[in-house]
Copies of this chain bind each other. A is one copy, B any other.
Amino acid sequence: MTRADGRAVDELRPITIERGWSEQAEGSALISFGRTKVLCTASFTNGVPRWMTGKGKGWVTAEYSMLPRSTNERMDRESVKGRIGGRTHEISRLIGRSLRAVVDMKALGENTIVIDCDVLQADGGTRTAAITGAYVALADALEWGRGKQFIGKNAKPLFDSVAAVSVGIIDGTPMLDLAYTEDVRAETDMNVVVTGRGLFVEVQGTAEGAPFDRRELDSLLDLAVGGTATLAGLQASATAG
């Protein structure tokens, strides 16, 4: 079985990670999963919000947004509508949770990191690209904080890496890393967030069409574990040196 773009069912789209794309942020990466492009920046602030002060722990949060013409049809801006939609909230929360799963808040100390993931071009898998790129931006921001001595010399705030990929069932066949045209056709769509050590952080599967059985669920998880292992390797290359 071949896919529209010629990939095998267990093959990722071409992945690129441009580390340090932004010259202003403490950490940044422009990541692409095929035509999907997400600019991830990490903003490091020494200190935490007042309600967290004095606990010796830090905080990591994330905001996701799409440019109005990142998509095929222009969407209205959420700033113009005056409210953030449900999908945006949901993805922002997912990115934040995924990153916090690999951060030791005690080791981070009383520092705050805000991750911004802005989708410049969308072709499916924007949230998984965002998580994968955000990890790279986060890692650089933490190094920046260490350089400024906001983080202790021997502290290890990152105890694992984290990456994400989408999987889905199309015409009964489980597939890895869905492009937009595949995503709209999928009966089941699942986003899986996995650490570099192969542990699950999030499993979010939804039957868009027919509900799925346990065997299908297992196949999807297998594909996702393979895909995120590849992404973990690419993250390691990007952050090396």
- Residues in A lying within 8 Å of B, measured CB to CB: 22-25, 28, 35, 39, 41, 43, 45, 63, 65, 67-72, 74, 77-90, 92-93, 97, 101, 114, 116, 118, 120-122, 160, 190, 195, 197-207, 210-214, 217, 221
* Prevailing SS type, chain A contact patch: mixed
Contacts A79-B77, A90-B89 given; indicate if A69 touches B24 (C-beta within 8 A).
yes
Closest partner residue, chain B, to A212 (CB atom):
B200
CA distance A199 to B169 in the complex (A): 15
8 contacts between A and B (CB under 8 A): A23-B35, A23-B121, A24-B69, A41-B68, A82-B83, A190-B203, A199-B210, A204-B204
Most buried by B among A116, A200, A214: A200
A89 x B82 contact (CB < 8 A): no
**Cross-chain contact B195 with A201 (CB below 8 angstroms):** no
> How far, in whole Å, are A187 and B106 apart by their CA atoms in the complex?
18
Contact of A84 among B35, B79, B217 (CB under 8 A): B79
Most buried by B among A23, A116, A207: A207
